[in-house]
Amino acid sequence: MKQQIYLDYAATTPVYPEIIEKMAQSLSFTGTFGNPASNGHPFGQQARQKVEQARSDVASLIGATADEIIWTSGATESNNLALKGVTERYASRGKHIITSQIEHKAILDSCAKLESLGFEVTYLKPNAETGIITPDAVKDAIRPDTLLISLMMVNNEIGTITDIKSIGETAKQQDIFFHVDAAQAAGKLHIDVHALNIDLLSLSAHKVYGPKGIGALYVNHQKTFEIEPQIHGGGHEQGCRSGTLATHQIVGMGEAFKIAKLSLDTEQERLKLLQQKLFDGLKAMTSIVLNGDLEQRVANYLNVSFTEDNPFVLINAVKTFAAVSSGSACNSGKAGASHVLLAIDRTETHAKNAIRFSFGKYTTEKNIDDLLEHLKHVQDTTQIVTFI
């Protein structure tokens, strides 16, 4: 069987070969294999230098300082640490949280847990079809006891962009903690955490051509506050997250973020052309609707619902030819329609007949041409068989 075209970069990205090489150098006896916490000898000191360089590279991509980066196992842990760390420490200030109906499950499930502990959560409904969470909707939801606002910068299923700047200004004026899940935004949008008034920001390496199993949480040091640790044992990472640091994974994340900074604008321009080409090609071939906003979105994702009476021939043809997703990877093991698409008022049928295409570094124009040609061939063959 011919290998599928990979169009599921939102789920994960391959690690660049040069990054793999640098990671491997932190594993062997002739490399920097030492424990970064072992400061009493060169093996540990050299590993620590690698960790701190990576910390600086990650911070540089988001406009932070190195001491504001806390290593975690990924964005899921970062989200948990941010929400639970703030609410546990500052519950006396208020027990109301604002988030949205279209957040990642790491946020929604954390909020559900906090609700079981006595917190109240407002789940903002996005605008129909576009999935936009407006600053006004956030303002209207604020209460005297609102402690935390948590919203993603780029939606992981439909690619819409949230106006983080306006919401951050509101949060600062109201003295409300502001957390942003930027797992799908890093390397795609320019981020300046201080200019955006973000207090906590979650990051993941494997969405930016780094390794799986490593992420980071930015914690704003221009604002005096502390987060309650969720993992105890040794007081690593400024007391926020205990555990021996995985030097090789951290090195990989640092290199990935350094590379992302160099090619952000040019890559968005290139992918925008591919996104439009596929969208136009599908529209010319069959009946589809776009899930998400036409303009306020990143170029990496295209989420469409196939709306003809019998869409399964083309949907199956897509899934046979290309690696795509019917939702987010975090929900791939669960049956049912996407909670994101249902929240933007898609019918359950249209939500189940949706495909998320996501593009990346190795996606070419030929990939898109080949996919469209394959779909046209399947469509023509089906029509001939039906006619006969």
What the chain holds in terms of domains, given with CATH numbers, is 5-11+263-381 (3.90.1150.10), 17-259 (3.40.640.10)
* Among the listed residues 163, 30, 22, the one whose alpha carbon sits nearest the alpha carbon of residue 100: 163
Number of C-alpha atoms within 13 angstroms, CB side, residue 88?
A: 13
Helix (H, G, I), strand (E, B) or coil at 311: coil
Secondary element (H or E) of residue 274: helix 247-285
pLDDT at 264: 94
pLDDT at 383: 64
Separation in Å, CA 326 to CA 210, 305, 330, 336, 381:
24, 10, 11, 10, 25
Length of the chain: 388
And the tokens for 347? Answer: 């019918």
Q: Which residues of the chain have pLDDT under 70?
A: 1, 327-335, 383-388
CB atoms within 10 A of CB 333: 6
And the tokens for 205? Answer: 């390496």
pLDDT at 236: 84
Tokens 């930016």 belong to which residue?
208
Query: How would you label 201-224 residue by residue, b for 16+ Cβ within 10 Å and e otherwise?
Result: bbbbbbbbbbbbbbbbbbbbeeee
pLDDT at 240: 85
Number of C-alpha atoms within 13 angstroms, CB side, residue 159?
A: 30
pTM above 0.85, yes or no: yes
Query: Do the bridges between strand 301-306 and strand 215-219 make them parallel or antiparallel, or are there none, so unpaired?
Result: unpaired
Residues paired with residue 80 on neighbouring β-strands, in sequence order:
none
- Catalytically active residues, by annotation: 330
Eight-class DSSP state of 210: S
Number of C-alpha atoms within 13 angstroms, CB side, residue 337?
A: 17
pLDDT at 2: 72
pLDDT at 242: 85
